[in-house]
């Protein structure tokens, strides 16, 4: 068997597979791709990729029909096959759509296997739109709680928030496309950092150092700027990125990984200006790893992507390790509970009130995905 | 020995999500005169549901102390309001076949019909709180007083309000703990209507009491309560939406809502920039007014869409097969909007746009100027309803022995 890739991009479930399949053609060769699903149709989107069909006995090659329990049982039944694809891979980036059966059920199990064989796991999980119904929402909320404990980094992409970027009269297909585009952009920016030829290089080990502990709150933001003062514009766009404003996002982190990509005109000053702006917004006091590169295709555009995590007390690694091993759920679970509460604001912690399958304590503008006028 | 009659004292307490208000009045020649009033920020209630009984108990106790001090009377009986999701209404009917010999309805037939209606058990775990009389029919025709009329089948209808038993016990227990007896529960939306709608309005009117935690509605038709309901959304939700959207504290959001909020979003708002504190000092922040009105108007309009949907569902249940339209023929008096959230700018206009019915803000008619505000419709109406619906007991001077007996009663 050939040498395992330094980064393995994994699509899990229907939504995860289609995002990864669309991205795969534009990835550098250092990044391997694998698709995991119960439904064999997902694999047809990317012929020739590493595929793992899970739960053959349970689903017989069909989907899970939205059953999370079936999803997790499927992943458990194919433990050996899953462990095999993760063996020797230092970093696993998993993409999945929560709410359905395979994503919600299998994600935590798959991430657990990957972490157990020694990989650093970063997961991008999309949350369902509010109008997809109460059941999917609940299933997705439950899944993030468990998933957060298994992954080293979890970026939750709230489709509702992304929808605010789309025009109000946009068709449904466009709103789903927007969600895919954001995750795709984020992954491309991340992948680009590890492509050879960077001015200020970073290696996968840097990512591992940032995402050292499972269950720590993760931040991901991504922004693009063009023309005059492009670097600052990109940094500002990144700080307003909807991925960083999800209810489960953290606002300040201890360690940052900043990746700046620009056209041939990118100056060192501009690049570090952007890094400084990002640091004021997101923190990064403990460590900031910078990576900068030139991509001639970008012209006068500058892209800034930020990945960060709060390291729980770096001075006592023994304690952190112990916590990670024992899977002590109390602390991180509490974290997630309060983060979920942020979406509901002052009503956090009170029982949800459902009308027509929607939690009406969540602001109307979020549920209806109305774009608010920009603040001055 | 005939007991000497004293002018009866009426005390009401309205426990809302935002504030708890108490009013003490006296009946003089059939009219209520205010003796004392007190108000406090409610503690321990979220979305109309009690979450911390101890804190609520302390808050109600303080309100009662205040009102006793300001009125100079001690309270023994009290009327409580009942609102929100705890109270649920349904229509029940009692059927009585009129004995065939002459086909005339006697008073006993009516009592029998009423008894048969009241025999219907409330759903498990719920206790009946009150019955509101609806039109009586003979062979399907509505009549004002059936006694003496001829027919075959007599039907009496009631709007029955039930409440969760545990919730009721909790409230009664809380008040009893202050050695005060609960005289009766009154539906909050009915109270608000009593304060703001006249008898001629009640020929056909929708009263919506939009408080901090819940929006209660009640529909009157031909002077009877047709149906009532509640949506668990209120002014707190608007404050919450604003604090989430602008990432500001609850207090700031509340303040901005009152100063710059509106139930209607206009294009021009987006060009307007407002300052949070206005002094442009340290920590002052700029916001786009369009964001504020957009967030608030979406919530306001959505809430009334839920109200409309709820009403139509209730009407379909009451009149299966008939498409009853919410129009001006059905509700000539239109909509009366009251409660604290009726104070939001352009509220009546927004409601008119959604419900397509003339809308006015309901202000309680009361002798005291300071209470002529929509947010006091509930408490003033509680007193009005208490007088008209169930006259308070006549207080008799009690001898020493009677008080002693009271002490040892279990």
For chain B, domain boundaries: 87-163
- Asked if the Cβ–Cβ distance from A370 to B298 is below 8 Å, we say yes
A245 three-class SS: helix
Residue B380: C-alpha distances to residues B25, B146, B349, B377 (Å): 10, 34, 25, 5
- Asked if the Cβ–Cβ distance from A368 to B240 is below 8 Å, we say no
- Name residues 191-250 of chain B within 8 A of A (Cβ): 231-233, 236-237, 239-241, 243-246, 250
Chain A residues near residue B244 by CB distance under 8 angstroms: 342-343, 345, 363, 366
Mean pLDDT, to the nearest integer, of B234-259?
88
Confirm or reject contact between B65 and chain A (CB < 8 A): no
Of A330-334, A348-352, B137-141, where does mean pLDDT reach its minimum? Answer: A330-334
Torsion angles phi and psi, residue B361, rounded to 5: -85, 130
Cα separation, A271 vs A216, in Å, equals 28
- Name residues 140-169 of chain A within 8 A of B (Cβ): none
Determine the residue among B241, B263, B267, B309 to mutate to test chain A binding: the one whose Cβ has the most chain A Cβ atoms within 10 Å.
B241
Chain A residues near residue B240 by CB distance under 8 angstroms: 344-347, 361, 363
Checking if the pLDDT of B3 tops 50, the result is: no
pLDDT (tens digit per residue) in B288-314: 888 899 999 999 999 999 999 999 988
Determine the residue among A373, A374, A376 to mutate to test chain B binding: the one whose Cβ has the most chain B Cβ atoms within 10 Å.
A373
Q: Which residue has the higher pLDDT, A100 or A194?
A: A100
- Asked if the Cβ–Cβ distance from B51 to A350 is below 8 Å, we say yes
Residue A228: C-alpha distances to residues A225, A235, A272, A281, B303 (Å): 9, 13, 16, 21, 45
Confidence (pLDDT) at B286? 83
- Asked if the Cβ–Cβ distance from B240 to A346 is below 8 Å, we say yes
**Fold for domain A7-192?**
Rossmann fold (3.40.50)
Residue B213, CA atoms < 13 Å, CB-side half-sphere: 26
- Asked if the Cβ–Cβ distance from B298 to A365 is below 8 Å, we say yes
Q: Among B213, B216, B212, B193, which Cα is nearest to B203's? A: B193
- Name residues 345-384 of chain B within 8 A of A (Cβ): none
Confidence (pLDDT) at B303? 93
Surface-to-core class of residue A199, CB atoms within 10 Å of its CB (0-12 exposed, 13-18 middle, 19+ buried): middle
Mean pLDDT, to the nearest integer, of B251-257?
90
Mean pLDDT, to the nearest integer, of B257-266?
90
Chain B residues near residue A345 by CB distance under 8 angstroms: 240-241, 243-244
- Asked if the Cβ–Cβ distance from B232 to A353 is below 8 Å, we say yes
Confidence (pLDDT) at B336? 95
CATH code at B87-163: 3.30.1490.110
Cα separation, B34 vs B370, in Å, equals 12
Confirm or reject contact between A340 and chain B (CB < 8 A): no
Banded model confidence at residue B208, pLDDT cuts 50, 70, 90: very high
Banded model confidence at residue B207, pLDDT cuts 50, 70, 90: very high
Residue A360 to chain B, least CA–CA distance (Å):
8
Cα separation, B371 vs B359, in Å, equals 21
Break chain A into its structural domains and give their ranges: 7-192, 210-309
Task: Note the helical H segments in chain A.
Answer: 13-24, 56-59, 68-77, 79-86, 101-116, 134-150, 159-163, 172-192, 204-210, 230-239, 268-282, 317-326, 330-344, 364-367
CATH code at A210-309: 3.30.1330.20
Q: Among B293, B235, B236, B252, which Cα is nearest to A348's? A: B236
Checking if the pLDDT of B222 tops 70, the result is: yes
B367 three-class SS: coil
Nearest to A350 among B46, B245, B273 (CB): B46
- Asked if the Cβ–Cβ distance from A375 to B291 is below 8 Å, we say yes
| Span between the terminal Cα atoms of chain A, in Å | 57
Percentage with pLDDT > 90 across chain B: 21
Q: Which residue has the higher pLDDT, B101 or B151?
A: B151
Determine the residue among B262, B270, B298 to mutate to test chain A binding: the one whose Cβ has the most chain A Cβ atoms within 10 Å.
B298
Cα separation, B22 vs B25, in Å, equals 10
Confidence (pLDDT) at B404? 57
Determine the residue among B49, B244, B291 to mutate to test chain A binding: the one whose Cβ has the most chain A Cβ atoms within 10 Å.
B244
- Asked if the Cβ–Cβ distance from A344 to B306 is below 8 Å, we say no
pLDDT (tens digit per residue) in B155-191: 888 888 888 888 888 888 888 888 888 888 888 888 9
Confidence (pLDDT) at B62? 92
Confirm or reject contact between B298 and chain A (CB < 8 A): yes
Confirm or reject contact between A366 and chain B (CB < 8 A): yes
| Contact between B188 and B81 (Cβ < 8 Å) | yes
- Asked if the Cβ–Cβ distance from B287 to A376 is below 8 Å, we say yes
Return the residue matching tokens 């939205």. Answer: A66
Chain B residues near residue A347 by CB distance under 8 angstroms: 46-47, 236-237, 240
Of A175-189, B41-55, B128-142, B150-164, where does mean pLDDT reach its minimum? Answer: A175-189
Checking if the pLDDT of A295 tops 90, the result is: no
Confidence (pLDDT) at B60? 92
Identity of the highest mean pLDDT range in A131-135, B267-271, B293-297: B293-297
Of A323-332, B136-145, B396-405, where does mean pLDDT reach its minimum? Answer: A323-332
Residue B75, CA atoms < 13 Å, CB-side half-sphere: 33
Average pLDDT, chain B: 83
Number of Cβ pairs closer than 8 Å across A and B?
76
Cα separation, A189 vs A238, in Å, equals 12
Confirm or reject contact between A353 and chain B (CB < 8 A): yes
Torsion angles phi and psi, residue B134, rounded to 5: -115, 170
Supply A137's token pair.
Answer: 């929402």
Chain A residues near residue B246 by CB distance under 8 angstroms: 375
Confirm or reject contact between A172 and chain B (CB < 8 A): no
| Contact between B108 and B149 (Cβ < 8 Å) | no
pLDDT (tens digit per residue) in A17-40: 888 887 777 677 777 888 888 887
What contacts B315, CB < 8 A, 6 or more positions away?
A: B226, B227, B324
| Contact between B11 and B67 (Cβ < 8 Å) | yes
Residue of B nearest to A373 (CA): B291
pLDDT (tens digit per residue) in A352-365: 777 777 778 888 88
List the Cα angle A299/A304/A305 in 5-degree steps.
Answer: 135
Confirm or reject contact between B294 and chain A (CB < 8 A): yes
Nearest to B288 among A353, A368, A373 (CB): A373
pLDDT (tens digit per residue) in A223-275: 888 877 788 888 877 777 766 665 555 667 777 888 888 877 777 787 888 88
Checking if the pLDDT of B402 tops 70, the result is: no
- Asked if the Cβ–Cβ distance from B288 to A344 is below 8 Å, we say no
Task: Tell me the ipTM for this assembly.
Answer: 0.76
pTM confidence score: 0.59
pLDDT (tens digit per residue) in A305-318: 888 876 543 333 33
Residue of B nearest to A343 (CA): B244
Q: Which residue has the higher pLDDT, B276 or A2?
A: B276
Of A67-71, A300-304, A368-372, B190-194, where does mean pLDDT reach its minimum? Answer: A368-372
């Amino acid at each position: 068997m050939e040498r395992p890739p330094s980064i393995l991009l994994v699509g899990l479930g229907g939504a995860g597979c289609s995002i990864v399949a669309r991205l795969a053609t534009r990835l550098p060769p250092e990044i391997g791709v694998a698709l995991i699903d119960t439904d064999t149709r997902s694999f047809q989107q990317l012929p020739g990729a590493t595929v793992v069909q899970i739960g053959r006995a349970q689903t017989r090659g069909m989907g899970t029909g939205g059953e999370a329990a079936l999803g997790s049982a499927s992943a458990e039944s194919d433990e050996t096959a899953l462990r095999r694809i993760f063996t020797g891979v230092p970093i696993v980036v998993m993409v999945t759509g929560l709410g359905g059966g395979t994503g919600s059920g299998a994600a935590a199990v798959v991430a657990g296997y990957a972490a157990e064989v020694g990989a650093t796991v970063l997961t991008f999980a999309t949350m369902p739109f509010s109008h997809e119904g109460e059941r999917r929402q609940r299933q997705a909320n439950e899944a993030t709680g468990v998933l957060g404990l298994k992954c080293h980094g979890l970026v939750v992409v709230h489709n509702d928030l992304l929808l605010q970027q789309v025009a109000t009269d946009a068709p449904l297909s466009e709103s789903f496309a927007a969600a895919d585009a954001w995750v795709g952009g984020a992954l491309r920016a991340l992948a680009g950092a590890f492509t050879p030829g960077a001015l200020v290089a970073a290696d996968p080990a840097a990512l591992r150092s940032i995402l050292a502990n499972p269950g720590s709150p993760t931040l991901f933001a991504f922004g693009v700027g063009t023309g005059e003062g492009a670097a600052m514009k990109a940094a500002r766009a990144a700080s307003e990125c909807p991925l960083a404003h999800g209810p489960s996002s953290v606002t300040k982190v201890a360690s940052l990984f900043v990746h700046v990509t620009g056209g041939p005109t990118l100056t060192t000053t501009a690049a570090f200006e952007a890094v400084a702006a990002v640091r004021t917004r997101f923190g990064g006091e403990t460590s900031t790893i910078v990576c900068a590169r030139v991509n001639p295709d970008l012209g006068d555009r500058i892209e800034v992507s930020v990945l960060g995590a709060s390291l729980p007390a770096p001075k006592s690694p023994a304690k952190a390790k112990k916590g990670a091993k024992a899977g002590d759920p109390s602390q991180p679970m509490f974290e997630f509970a309060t983060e979920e509460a942020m979406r509901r604001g002052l009503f956090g912690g009170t029982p949800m009130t459902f009308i027509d399958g929607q939690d009406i304590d969540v602001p109307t503008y979020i549920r209806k995905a109305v774009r608010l006028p920009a603040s001055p | 020995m005939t007991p000497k009659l004293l002018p009866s004292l009426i005390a009401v307490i309205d426990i809302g999500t935002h504030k708890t208000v108490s009013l003490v009045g006296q009946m003089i020649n059939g009219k209520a005169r205010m003796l004392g009033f007190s108000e406090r920020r409610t503690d321990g209630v979220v979305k109309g549901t009690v979450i911390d009984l101890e804190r609520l108990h302390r808050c109600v106790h303080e309100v009662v102390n205040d009102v006793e001090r300001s009125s100079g009377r001690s309270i023994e009986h009290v009327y409580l309001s009942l609102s929100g999701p705890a109270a649920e209404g349904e229509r029940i009917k009692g059927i009585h076949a009129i004995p065939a010999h002459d086909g005339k309805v006697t008073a006993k037939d009516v009592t029998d019909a009423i008894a048969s209606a009241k025999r219907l058990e409330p759903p498990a775990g719920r206790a009946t709180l009150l019955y509101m009389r609806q039109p009586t029919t003979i062979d399907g025709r509505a009549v004002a007083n059936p006694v003496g009329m001829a027919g075959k089948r007599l039907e009496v209808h009631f709007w029955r309000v039930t409440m969760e038993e545990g919730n009721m016990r909790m409230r009664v227990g809380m008040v009893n703990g202050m050695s005060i007896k609960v005289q009766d529960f009154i539906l909050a939306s009915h109270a608000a209507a009593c304060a703001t709608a006249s008898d001629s309005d009640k020929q056909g009117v929708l009263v919506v009491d939009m408080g901090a935690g819940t929006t209660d509605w009640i529909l009157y038709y031909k002077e009877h309560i047709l149906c009532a309901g509640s949506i668990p959304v209120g002014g707190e939700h608007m404050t919450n939406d604003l604090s989430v959207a602008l990432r500001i504290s609850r207090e700031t959001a509340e303040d901005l809502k009152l100063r710059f909020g509106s139930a209607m979003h206009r294009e021009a708002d987006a060009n307007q920039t407002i300052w949070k504190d206005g002094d442009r000092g340290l920590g002052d922040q700029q916001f786009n007014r369009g964001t504020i009105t957009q967030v608030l108007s979406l919530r306001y309009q959505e809430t009334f869409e839920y109200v409309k949907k709820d009403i139509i569902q209730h009407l379909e249940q009451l009149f299966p097969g008939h498409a009853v339209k919410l129009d001006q023929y059905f509700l000539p008096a239109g909509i009366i909007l009251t409660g604290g959230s009726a104070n939001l700018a352009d509220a009546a206009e927004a409601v008119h746009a959604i419900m397509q019915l003339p809308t006015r803000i309901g202000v309680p008619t009361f002798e005291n100027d300071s209470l002529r505000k929509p947010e006091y419709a509930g408490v003033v109406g509680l007193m009005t309803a208490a007088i008209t619906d169930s006259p308070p007991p006549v207080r008799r001077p009690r001898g020493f022995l009677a008080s002693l007996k009271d002490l040892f009663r279990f």
